[in-house]
Structure 1
Amino acid sequence: MHTPIDATTGDVDAERAVIKKIAWRFLPVLILGYLLNYLDRTNIGFAALTMNKDIGLSESHFGFGAGIFFLAYCLFEVPSNMLLFRYGARLWLARIMITWGICSAVMALVVGPYSYYGARLLLGLSEAGFFPGVTFFLSSWFPARYRTSILAWFLLAIPLSSLIGSPLSGSLLYLDGVWGLSGWKWMFLLEGTPTALIGIWALFVLSDNPDTARWLTKQERGLIKNMLAGEQREKPRKDFAAALRDPRVHLLALIQFGFTVGSYGVGIWLPLILKQFLSTPLQIGLVSAIPYAFASIGMLLWARHSDRSGNSLGNLACSCAVGAIGLGFAVFAHGSVSAMASLTVALVGVTAARAIFWAIPGRIMTGMGAAAGFAYINCIAALGGFAGPYVIGWAKEKTGSFSTGLGVMGLILVITVLLVLPLHHFRKQARTAAATAS
């Protein structure tokens, strides 16, 4: 695991050792939890290969239901993170994992469009707050100079969920008829149930702050507290209202909306896009894993480069631009090879953007403002998770092609690149103000 070295921080070896110890304590359970979290969101694309016909879903029905998850997610996103701040990340993150595991398994009971909508609604409500909650939790433990790399390892769960989950989901569909259940029902049951067990594990592994971390020595607790305290003194503490008055927070929300549109639009519809070229669920699952293998490697390398360069905004703009270029080529792709190559480039870009992006909000918000502000940003961005799948489904139904929807998502990513420019302006203003004050 990469951790950058800053020789100005004192005992570099001791610092790196405690950061590594904390990372190995927290990241396995959080990565596995988020892997299942993302899998529970996107496995609906594999279920659609047989579920849509079984329960009578049209393409617009499916796209709306896939997206309504994110509307429900938005409704409870900010309240969930405010409760996390009140009751502690350890308890609240475990609660989220346990309830969403149950709701994911309930997807096996849907029988038509309305029960499908209802189950997706419950799943969105139960998962609300998990990602921004983890982001807030990690920003409370890891100093900024380590944060992009740590977040990249956590966010590795996203491409891994497709790298591992795509072949797994495709394979589980072959359980069709076992004990009288359809293959897509087995998929929801077997992929949803383990999440509750991960939630129980989290109760024993996570700690809300260094003072409650008895698995750290007294010296290690003091070292990490000193690192975090020095960083906190450099940032004003903000409540939620103050965070909402900061234009940078709204810009960040719009930026994440942009690359979320591309991420979920491609991720959820990829199995059905590949169905045009491939014949069996297992083939679709195996081929779907290819772009996520490249996205996993690309995200880790790009996050390391961003940490080393110290230019997170420039790297964020470049990663979104790469996503836009990939989607642009996908519009004109003919055949499975060119389509897969284009979508792979797009997924490398939008996946890297996630890791780079989430190191930025923690530099301008702290305390309750950070907990609620992270949730607000993710709430607005989650609308992209609704827009992406729905736009592609609507465009496919109207035009008979996926190209129009992919083109719209590419255009949104171009706009996203432009939205990064004002953040550069705000950063320059802050540096000028700091230099004048000194």
Structure 2
Amino acid sequence: MSQTEDDKVVNSAVRKSIIRLLPFLALMYVMAYLDRANIGFAKEAFQVDTGLSNAAYAFGAGVFFIGYALFEVPSNILLYKVGARVWLSRIMVTWGLISAAMMFAHDEKTFIILRFFLGASEAGFMPGVMLYLTFWFPLNVRAKVAGYFWFGPPIAFILGGPASGALLTIHGMWGLHNWQLMFLVEGLLAAFVGVVAYFYLDDKPADRRCKFLNEEEKQALSRVIEKEEKAKVNHGPQGILKALCDPRVLYLCMICFTIQVGSYGIAFFLPSQVAALSGQKVGFIVGVLSGIPSLCALFAAWYIPHLSTKRKERRWIGTITLLCGGLGVALSGMLAATPVWAFIVLCIGCAGLLAVQPIYWTFPTSYLGGAAAASGIALINSLGNLGGFIAPNIRVWAENTFNSPAAGLYLLGAIAIVGALMLSGVFRIGIRRDLDSPAPDIQRDAPAENSATLTSGSLK
């Protein structure tokens, strides 16, 4: 088979894999994000019924990420060992059932315990999917592909926001409070999707279960992935422990942390922040309005990774995107006296903080290979997601300390801006040599206009 013919087969396999896998993976992320962030919609009703303080709410919302961080690395190693299909399904079913059990969180202690175990049960999902994408998609298209996966969080707010708001308007069904009904319904839906995942997903292109690719496509795509893996293993850390101690991995952890502080500092308070700007109580209307920033984020998650792929540029596009996210968050507090402008910059902040993530994840997934990828990607996500624990607590701390609701937003925005500065220097610490190490040359003679045939090393 000629070089050009092989390229066409690989491109066909990539297109089919996107169509087959990404909508379902995005659906899984919708359910994951909804089950971790729906506490924001239940906040007011939940606190009224349980007497939970703001500080206890912030701690419980954030303790999710302690459980998440503790079990992230072992979870991803197990995914690498037993296969993504089995392990992603297990994760979803477990967290769905625990999320449904949140209906029993009548007091502070139960609330905090269930939030911890919700994080522990969901540990490994996001890094597991990032690792899973490396089994199916070459580096040159991975930012664009990951962008589709990151449709999950904004869709969770666009569709899940009104749905959660609507469920919160139902009182007394089956003798439950409105927030209990919301947790029950959304948790059981996640568990159901987890069961479907077991039968729907395939572990790798070469698997016998994989029926949507023909044998020629399986072989061609597998060759590309195998060559990229060999290049990463030869130039990056080798083995689980070396990845965990690698200074470049730790640097990427810090960038991830700043992104997640900004993201979750907004996500857990978005409904109440929108309610304050609109003068409405949290319910269906606020749920719809809360979907607008997420709609902007959805567009950004599609457009910016595509732009990065087209321009063959990721560092500066990622830096500017994260900078806009941080500035948008900070300005939403500064402009609170003019709700329309505050809402507009809030939309920009949400868009930037989400759209930077598929670009950001091309750095660790193109640097780490083999078992090192399983542990390293999980470590980055687990330490980064500690930002989800820190964010609500430092936001409440800043608001109380400075007696201003804007103070928390200033702090969140500043941390994201620091992350943008770090991202701009990602090549200066030696990451560039490893990320741009020799890659498969199968696309050597590919047409320039076909984004799926760019060389792996060209995306800088």
Q: Quick one: distance in 1 between partners of 2:227 and 2:132?
A: 18
Partner of 1:229: 226
Structure 1 residue 307, shift from structure 2 partner: 1.1
With structure 2 as the length reference, what TM-score do the two structures score? 0.89
Q: Within 5 Å, give how 1:230-309 maps onto structure 2.
A: 230-236=227-233, 238-276=238-276, 277-280=278-281, 281-309=283-311
Structure 1 residue 234, shift from structure 2 partner: 2.2
Q: Quick one: distance in 2 between partners of 1:196 and 1:321?
A: 37
Partner-residue secondary structure (3-state), 1:423:
coil
Partner-residue secondary structure (3-state), 1:308:
helix
Partner of 2:456: none
Structure 1 pair 429–373 and aligned structure 2 pair: CA distance change class (3 A): closer
Structure 1 pair 214–160 and aligned structure 2 pair: CA distance change class (3 A): closer
Q: Quick one: distance in 2 between partners of 1:314 and 1:179?
A: 53
Q: Quick one: distance in 2 between partners of 1:150 and 1:391?
A: 33
Partner-residue secondary structure (3-state), 2:341:
helix
Structure 1 pair 328–22 and aligned structure 2 pair: CA distance change class (3 A): same
Partner of 2:328: 326
Q: Quick one: distance in 2 between partners of 1:121 and 1:47?
A: 18
Q: Within 5 Å, give how 1:147-166 maps onto structure 2.
A: 147-166=142-161
The reply to whether residue 27 of structure 1 matches residue 22 of structure 2 is: yes
Tell me if structure 2 keeps the 8 A contact 1:29–1:201. Answer: no
Tell me if structure 1 keeps the 8 A contact 2:142–2:362. Answer: yes
Partner of 1:416: 419
With structure 1 as the length reference, what TM-score do the two structures score? 0.94
Show CA shifts across 1:10-60 (max 9, x none). 544322211111122222221111100000111101111210111011111
Q: Quick one: distance in 1 between partners of 2:437 and 2:17?
A: 35
Partner of 2:34: 39
Q: Quick one: distance in 2 between partners of 1:384 and 1:171?
A: 30
Q: How many residues align?
A: 428
Partner of 1:395: 398
Structure 1 pair 431–83 and aligned structure 2 pair: CA distance change class (3 A): closer
Q: Within 5 Å, give how 1:32-431 maps onto structure 2.
A: 32-212=27-207, 213-215=209-211, 216-236=213-233, 238-276=238-276, 277-280=278-281, 281-333=283-335, 334-425=337-428, 426-429=430-433
Structure 1 residue 311, shift from structure 2 partner: 1.7
Structure 1 pair 50–399 and aligned structure 2 pair: CA distance change class (3 A): farther
Task: Specify every segment of 5 or more residues in structure 2 that has no aligned partner in the other structure, as ranges.
Answer: 439-460
Structure 1 residue 321, shift from structure 2 partner: 0.6
Tell me if structure 2 keeps the 8 A contact 1:262–1:350. Answer: yes
User: What residue identity is the alignment partner of 2:254?
Assistant: L
Partner of 2:442: none
Q: Quick one: distance in 1 between partners of 2:42 and 2:436?
A: 54
Structure 1 pair 292–8 and aligned structure 2 pair: CA distance change class (3 A): farther
Q: Percent identity?
A: 35
Q: Quick one: distance in 1 between partners of 2:432 and 2:365?
A: 18
Show CA shifts across 1:221-276 (max 9, x none). 11111211232232225212221343221111111110111111111101112232
Tell me if structure 1 keeps the 8 A contact 2:398–2:411. Answer: no
Q: Quick one: distance in 1 between partners of 2:206 and 2:332?
A: 51
Structure 1 pair 178–88 and aligned structure 2 pair: CA distance change class (3 A): same
Name the structure with the higher helix share.
1
Q: Which runs of 4+ in 1 moved over 6 A?
A: 431-434
Structure 1 pair 31–387 and aligned structure 2 pair: CA distance change class (3 A): same
Partner of 2:448: none
Structure 1 residue 430, shift from structure 2 partner: 5.2
Q: Quick one: distance in 2 between partners of 1:411 and 1:120?
A: 27
Show CA shifts across 1:128-154 (max 9, x none). 000000110111111001111110001
User: What residue identity is the alignment partner of 2:260?
Assistant: T
Show CA shifts across 1:349-388 (max 9, x none). 1111111111221111111110111100000111111111
Q: Quick one: distance in 2 between partners of 1:9 and 1:389?
A: 52
Q: Quick one: distance in 1 between partners of 2:369 and 2:198?
A: 24
Structure 1 residue 8, shift from structure 2 partner: 7.2
